[in-house]
């Protein structure tokens, strides 16, 4: 059995250099520097306008509006018949002369849609012909009907109705001839069960700004809810069968600004 003394005697003597922790230079404390406190982050003004973040007065519910990515919105498809608003007075004047554009559309519409003079004639399969006659009066009686599109997936013709000031849109059922007035062209959900109409006229205010949700479960479109708002809804696009993205136009500090937002319209 080894003993510690024996082991210590057997080990060579190692001489270590003299050292001491007390001989090491000590680090001097740095003088404290008082940094000014950072200001709290200030969100862009649009996110402080809380009245833009909810859609109220839907029966029994308040719908919340959230910011969305423009890149995602740009990748979603918008129907061909959803026309963008004119960006200038010159462009608006060209919109008023719709006869040439309508002639091109009528050439592709088939024999059940035609124009004779001032009359736009639609021929449903199960009802009498629907005749929509223009009135070019220079006052509030002025009205003009423009054929926009045939929507076979929902069995409707889409008509734009131009008034002396402003206007609206109308669906005519291809089977019954029933007419349905809309605030904007319909954008149909991927599953075909709903469509939305979004309109924006926050500057001129000739037309109502807001949003409509329609059901297609019945034989004819049925309005589920409608909300006229102080902000505008431009070109809504479906993210899925319940959620839309759209450009929300709002009037602030004497000008119209826009952001892309997300809204769940179907529970």
Query: Region 81-89: what's the mean pLDDT?
Result: 63
130 & 209 share domain: no
Give the pLDDT of residue 26. Answer: 54
Tokens of 244: 């839309």
Domain residue limits at 59: 44-82+184-267
What's the whole-number mean pLDDT along residues 51-73? 86
In this structure, the answer to whether residues 178 and 195 fall within a common structural domain is no
pLDDT over 90 percentage in the chain: 58
Tens digits of residue pLDDT in 205-224: 888 899 999 999 778 899 99
Do 258 and 249 contact (CB within 8 A), yes or no?
yes
Same domain, 178 and 93: yes
| Rounded Cα gap, residues 110 and 248, in angstroms | 37
173 and 104, same structural domain? Answer: yes
Domain edge (last residue) among 182, 202, 220: 182
pLDDT number for residue 16: 44
Residue 139 predicted with pLDDT over 80: yes
Number of H helices, E strands in the chain: 4, 16
- Residue 75 shares a structural domain with residue 59: yes
Same domain, 193 and 254: yes
Position 86 pLDDT exceeds 60: no
Q: Which of 182, 210, 234 is the last residue of a domain?
A: 182
On average, the pLDDT of the chain sits at 83
Residue 62 lies in a domain: yes
The domain boundary, picked from 182, 210, 238, lies at 182
Strands (E), 33-117: 54-58, 61-67, 113-116
131 lies in the same domain as 101:
yes
For residue 167, being part of any structural domain is answered with yes
The answer to whether residue 8 scores a pLDDT higher than 60 is: no
| pLDDT at residue number 252 | 77
Query: Is 108's pLDDT higher than 70?
Result: yes
Same domain membership, residue 120 and residue 60: no
Q: Tell me: do 177 and 190 sit in the same domain.
A: no
- More confident of the two residues 98 and 64: 64
How large is the average pLDDT for residues 52-59? 78
Among candidates 201, 165, 156, which has minimal Cα distance to 183? 201
Residues 60 and 99 occupy one common structural domain: no
Q: What is the pLDDT of residue 45?
A: 57
- pLDDT tens string 230-262: 899 999 999 999 999 999 998 877 788 899 999
Q: Is residue 22 part of a domain?
A: no
Quick one: average pLDDT of 124-152?
96
Structure tokens given for 226: 């409608």
The tokens for 267 are: 């529970």
Whole-number percent of the chain with pLDDT over 70: 77
* pLDDT at site 143: 96
The answer to the question of residue 25 being in a domain is no
How confident is the model over 14-26, as pLDDT tens digits? 444 444 444 555 5
- Residue 189's pLDDT is 96
Q: Half-sphere exposure (CA, 13 Å, Cβ side) for 34?
A: 0
CA pair distance 140, 145, nearest whole angstrom? 15
């Amino acid at each position: 059995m080894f003993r510690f003394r024996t082991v210590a005697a057997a080990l060579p003597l190692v001489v270590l250099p003299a050292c001491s922790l007390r001989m090491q230079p000590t680090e001097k404390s740095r003088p404290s520097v008082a940094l000014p406190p950072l200001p709290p982050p200030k969100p862009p003004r649009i996110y402080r306008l809380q009245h833009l973040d909810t859609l109220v007065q839907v029966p029994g519910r308040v719908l919340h509006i959230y910011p969305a990515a423009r890149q995602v919105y740009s990748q979603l498809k918008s129907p061909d018949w959803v026309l963008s608003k004119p960006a200038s007075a010159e462009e608006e004047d060209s919109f008023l002369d719709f006869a040439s554009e309508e002639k091109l559309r009528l050439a592709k519409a088939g024999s059940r849609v035609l124009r004779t003079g001032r009359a736009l004639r639609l021929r449903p399969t199960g009802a009498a012909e629907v005749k929509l006659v223009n009135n070019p009066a220079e006052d509030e009686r002025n009205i003009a009907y423009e054929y926009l599109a045939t929507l076979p997936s929902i069995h409707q013709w889409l008509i734009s109705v131009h008034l002396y000031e402003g206007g609206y849109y109308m669906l005519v059922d291809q089977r019954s001839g029933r007419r349905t007035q809309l605030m904007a062209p319909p954008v149909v959900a991927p599953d075909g069960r709903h469509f939305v109409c979004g309109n924006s006229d926050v500057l001129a205010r000739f037309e109502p700004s807001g949003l409509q949700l329609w059901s297609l479960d019945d034989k004819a479109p049925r309005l589920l809810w409608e909300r006229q708002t102080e902000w505008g809804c431009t070109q809504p696009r479906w993210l899925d069968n319940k959620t839309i993205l759209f450009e929300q136009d709002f009037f602030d500090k004497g000008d119209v600004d826009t952001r892309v937002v997300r809204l769940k319209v179907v529970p």
